[in-house]
């Protein structure tokens, strides 16, 4: 076991050493002369130097070939006009093996020139450059971008007018590179002219954002405390809570002493911390910012956990005995450990796996930090989080040993096993539902899930009353008060479920049940007011994606942004997921509030961007990420890349308010069930929109 952790630690250290941000291209710029008269031409010279074995693509080859062309965009100003386009000075021809086409590059050193005509003394030359640099060693490519500004140029002479025929040449640079449009200038707080043809993705212009960013934890110690608190809160999330009965029943054994039971529980807690700290951070580096999200919603892991829950449930109900941990360990350890360590470690790994869907608010932030080159902070954050996470589960593991000290009345311990077996049978449906929603199988709708729960918990209620006996039970001669009280709670829960068959929202179970739109007979929706928010055209993907509470909106960023610009309304972005249980809770608890719902209907254009949807995109809609340089071929990967690349975040739920020029209007909002704070978030974004865009 020690040797195994040593290998993991070595791999982790090796991976994190390579997680630094690379900047193999360095840019400088200078004018061809520092003294000029109005009407004269001036060359703006851009020089790039690359590290050894790296090269930069030029801009004078077929833009549809594949690599990103170098683009230099000057911010338009009345003091100059462009003369021609950006010229690459003596690039080298190269056949690109990856894209299988002929390109032009600069290796070691390169130069670009843009000619302008000076029109007035107040010459203002600034803008942005962007492109791509690659290495010949392993084929790695890195996109780059930056800003430039020219100073120290003396201009003499009277102001003159420019030639209007030269003006259209600047937008042609955008057309050449369709995947990398010109970045909108955000430094001046002016009312922008709406450009319906420009889409760059959300822009975090901090100069227009007010108040404190709740998602930005600048204090190192404060961040660790934040991670610890989140670990405690995560215990009651729908992904983690189902593991409580499995943990208790797993450690509920008759053939071990109390000392051995407590020791195994402590090993269980240490295993949780070790796996979360090492494997969690290691996966962040190896799988990238999308990897854990994809893992948490993939059909394989979810159906595997579903099967584990079913097997454990049937075992605890008395169908068979589980002896697998005894057979999994090495024969050399059989005499001393009886297979316990392997089984305990397996349980800890299962807990870590199934918790990712609900723990992504902290894990996702650690992923972004790790991918950005940080090492110490993400490791300590994972340790702090997993410590809070492990302490209660260690107590749950010790709990059976405490129960063994209680007076036994008949089959007390077996009754606990059976009860927890029923719970596991019901909670197993959660993991099947995640895969069912992500892949649109349509096998477990909301009403089907509710029916199964009503049957399971009714059987549990009758079992507690002694009307049903399982194979290893002792006869119930007299009904004890605790069993009567538990039966009362169970039947009360069944009665609570019944209205859900006709569409009652069942807010307390929002994170456990499939979405409301999967309900076949939703009587509540039929009686709901039909008035909803107006949109511009038929949204894409409405055959399998839906918004809650009768809201109208979109599921494609470009389509939603076009409508927001047309109606001159702020855009409300909901970064969500089929496997995001916290998203369902926010929709059921916060969105359903009349104060929130009315604002969403009247004041915003809504777009729900599912980051885990597996639906393939047509090839013409594939994008190459500026974050990891990978091609995104599904709806979910495209939406996840938009959030990661533009907002440096990959947690869900994640709510963003945008203006018509794609500037973020208020600090993004995460998982927080406070209706008051959510209303304040919407109101602050709407107020900023009215300040900047209303005419």
Q: Hey, which of 47-61, 211-225, 236-250, 510-524 has the most confident mean pLDDT?
A: 47-61
Separation between Cα atoms, residue 662 and residue 641, nearest integer Å:
16
Other CB atoms within 10 A of residue 518 CB: 19
* pLDDT value at 338 more than 60: no
pLDDT in tens, 454-509: 999 999 999 999 888 888 787 777 888 888 999 999 999 999 999 988 878 787 77
Domain ranges within the chain, ordered by starting residue: 25-183, 220-406, 531-693
**More confident: 284 or 491:** 491
Separation between Cα atoms, residue 217 and residue 207, nearest integer Å:
19
Label residues 140-167 b or e (16+ Cβ within 10 Å = b).
Answer: eebbbeeebebeebebeeeeeebeeeee
The β-bridge relationship of strands 623-624 and 631-632 is: antiparallel
Other CB atoms within 10 A of residue 326 CB: 14
Q: 25-183 maps to which CATH number? A: 2.60.40.1250
List the one residue out of 279, 401, 286, 288 whose CA is nearest residue 351.
279
Label residues 622-660 b or e (16+ Cβ within 10 Å = b).
Answer: ebbbbbbeeebebbbbbbbbbbbbbbbbbbbbbbbbbbb
Mean pLDDT within 541-570: 91
Q: DSSP per residue over 671-684, as a string? A: S---HHHHHHHHHH
Separation between Cα atoms, residue 292 and residue 594, nearest integer Å:
35
Separation between Cα atoms, residue 629 and residue 143, nearest integer Å:
7
Q: Which residues pair with 289 in a beta bridge?
A: none
User: Which helix (H) or strand (E) covers residue 270, if one does?
Assistant: helix 258-274
Separation between Cα atoms, residue 285 and residue 304, nearest integer Å:
24
The β-bridge relationship of strands 605-610 and 571-576 is: parallel
Query: Rounded to 5 degrees, what angle do the CA atoms 658, 659, 665 make?
Result: 60
CA 274 to chain centre: 24
Contacts of 547 (CB under 8 A, 6+ apart): 553, 606, 608
Least confident of 153-167, 516-530, 614-628: 516-530
| pLDDT at 7 (0 to 100) | 38
Burial bucket for residue 264 (CB in 10 Å: 0-12, 13-18, 19+):
buried
3-state SS assignment for residue 513: coil
pLDDT in tens, 557-567: 999 999 999 99
Least confident of 187-196, 343-352, 565-574, 590-599: 187-196
pLDDT in tens, 502-537: 878 787 777 678 877 777 776 766 665 545 567 888
Separation between Cα atoms, residue 297 and residue 290, nearest integer Å:
11
| pLDDT at 650 (0 to 100) | 74
**More confident: 562 or 406:** 562
* pLDDT value at 400 more than 70: no
* pLDDT value at 19 more than 90: no
Mean pLDDT within 141-153: 84
pLDDT in tens, 168-180: 333 333 333 333 3
Are residues 381 and 363 in contact, defined by beta-carbon separation less than 8 angstroms? no
Q: What is the CA radius of gyration of the chain?
A: 30
CA 392 to chain centre: 26
Q: DSSP per residue over 393-418, as a string? A: HHHHHHHHHHHHTSPP-SSHHHHHHH
List the one residue out of 195, 155, 172, 183 whose CA is nearest residue 38.
155
| pLDDT at 279 (0 to 100) | 64
Q: Which residues pair with 111 in a beta bridge?
A: 47
Are residues 217 and 229 in contact, defined by beta-carbon separation less than 8 angstroms? no
| pLDDT at 603 (0 to 100) | 92
Separation between Cα atoms, residue 372 and residue 21, nearest integer Å:
6
H-state helical runs in 298-339 = 299-316, 324-328, 334-337
Q: Which residues pair with 554 in a beta bridge?
A: 607
* pLDDT value at 538 more than 50: yes
Give rounded-to-5 percent helix, strand, coil for the chain. Answer: 50, 15, 35
Average pLDDT of the chain to the nearest whole number: 75
Are residues 129 and 59 in contact, defined by beta-carbon separation less than 8 angstroms? no
Least confident of 142-146, 600-604, 684-688: 142-146
CATH number (3.30.420.40, 3.90.226.10, 3.40.50.10800, 3.40.30.10) of 531-693 reads: 3.40.30.10
Separation between Cα atoms, residue 369 and residue 622, nearest integer Å:
27
Mean pLDDT within 321-345: 48
pLDDT in tens, 287-307: 554 555 566 667 777 787 788
Q: Hey, which of 54-63, 96-105, 449-458, 507-516 has the most confident mean pLDDT?
A: 449-458
| pLDDT at 524 (0 to 100) | 64
Q: DSSP per residue over 170-232, as a string? A: HHHHHHH-TTSPPPPP-SS-S-PPP-TT-----B--GGG--S--TT----HHHHHHHHHHHHH
Q: State the pLDDT confidence band at 204, using cuts at 50, 70 and 90.
A: confident
Please tell me whether the overall predicted TM-score, pTM, comes out greater than 0.85 for this model. Answer: no
Q: State the pLDDT confidence band at 200, using cuts at 50, 70 and 90.
A: confident
| pLDDT at 245 (0 to 100) | 64
């Amino acid at each position: 076991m020690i040797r195994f952790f040593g290998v993991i630690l070595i791999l982790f250290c090796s991976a994190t050493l390579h997680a630094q941000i690379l900047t193999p291209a360095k840019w400088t710029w200078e004018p061809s002369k520092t003294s000029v008269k109005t009407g004269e031409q001036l060359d703006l010279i851009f020089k790039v130097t690359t590290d050894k074995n790296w090269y930069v693509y030029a801009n004078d080859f077929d833009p549809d070939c594949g690599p990103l062309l170098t683009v230099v965009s000057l911010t338009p100003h009345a003091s100059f006009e462009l003369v021609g386009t950006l010229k690459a000075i003596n690039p080298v021809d190269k056949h690109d093996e990856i894209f299988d086409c002929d390109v032009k590059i600069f290796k070691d050193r390169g130069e670009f020139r843009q000619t302008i005509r000076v029109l007035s003394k107040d010459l203002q030359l600034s803008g942005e450059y962007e492109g791509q640099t690659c290495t010949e060693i392993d084929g790695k490519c890195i996109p780059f971008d930056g800003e430039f500004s020219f100073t120290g140029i003396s201009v003499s002479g009277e102001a003159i007018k420019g030639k209007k025929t030269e003006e259209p040449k600047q937008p042609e640079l955008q057309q050449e590179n369709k995947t990398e449009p010109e970045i909108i200038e955000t430094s001046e707080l002016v009312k922008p002219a709406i450009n319906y043809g420009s889409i760059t993705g959300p822009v975090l212009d901090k100069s227009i954002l007010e108040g404190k960013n709740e998602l930005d934890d600048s204090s190192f110690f404060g961040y660790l405390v934040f991670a610890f608190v989140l670990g405690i809160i995560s215990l009651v999330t729908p992904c983690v809570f189902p593991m409580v009965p499995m943990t208790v029943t797993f450690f509920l054994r008759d053939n071990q002493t109390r000392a051995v039971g407590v020791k195994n529980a402590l090993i269980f807690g240490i295993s949780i911390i070790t796996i979360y700290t090492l494997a969690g951070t290691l996966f962040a580096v190896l799988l990238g910012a999308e990897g854990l999200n994809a893992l948490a919603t993939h059909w394989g892991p979810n159906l595997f956990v579903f099967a584990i829950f079913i097997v454990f449930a049937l075992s605890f109900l008395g169908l068979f005995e589980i002896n697998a941990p005894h057979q999994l360990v090495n024969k050399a350890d059989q005499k001393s450990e009886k297979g316990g360590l392997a089984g305990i470690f397996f349980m800890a790994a299962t807990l870590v796996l199934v918790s990712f869907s609900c723990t992504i608010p902290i894990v996702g932030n650690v992923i972004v930090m790790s991918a950005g080159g940080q090492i110490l902070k993400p490791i300590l954050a994972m340790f702090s989080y997993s410590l809070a996470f492990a302490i209660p589960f260690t107590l749950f593991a010790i709990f059976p040993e405490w129960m063994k000290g209680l007076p036994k009345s008949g089959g007390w311990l077996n009754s606990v096993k059976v009860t927890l077996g029923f719970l596991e049978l019901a909670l197993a449906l959660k993991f099947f539902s995640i895969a069912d929603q992500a892949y649109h199988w349509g096998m477990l709708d909301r009403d089907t899930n509710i029916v199964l729960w009503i049957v399971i918990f009714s059987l549990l209620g009758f079992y507690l009353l002694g009307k049903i006996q399982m194979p290893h039970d002792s006869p119930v001669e007299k009904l004890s008060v605790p069993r009567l009280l538990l039966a009362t709670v169970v039947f009360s829960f069944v009665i609570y479920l019944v209205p859900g068959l006709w569409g009652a929202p069942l807010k307390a179970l929002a994170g456990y049940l499939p979405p409301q739109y999967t309900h076949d007979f939703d009587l509540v929706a039929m009686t709901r007011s039909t008035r909803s928010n107006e949109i511009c055209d038929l949204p894409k993907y409405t055959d399998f994606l839906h918004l809650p509470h009768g809201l109208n909106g979109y599921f494609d960023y470009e389509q939603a942004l076009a409508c927001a610009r047309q109606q001159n309304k702020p855009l409300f972005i909901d970064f969500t997921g089929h496997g995001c249980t916290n998203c369902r809770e926010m929709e059921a608890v916060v969105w359903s509030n009349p104060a929130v719902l009315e604002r969403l209907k009247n004041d915003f254009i809504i777009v729900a961007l599912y980051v885990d949807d597996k639906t393939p995109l047509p090839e013409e809609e594939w994008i190459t990420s500026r974050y990891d340089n990978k091609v995104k071929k599904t709806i979910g990967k495209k939406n996840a890349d938009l959030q990661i690349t533009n907002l440096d975040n990959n947690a869900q739920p994640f709510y963003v308010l945008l203006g018509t020029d794609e500037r973020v209007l208020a600090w993004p909002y995460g998982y927080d069930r406070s209706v008051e704070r959510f209303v304040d978030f919407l109101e602050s974004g709407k107020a900023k929109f009215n300040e900047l865009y209303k005419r």
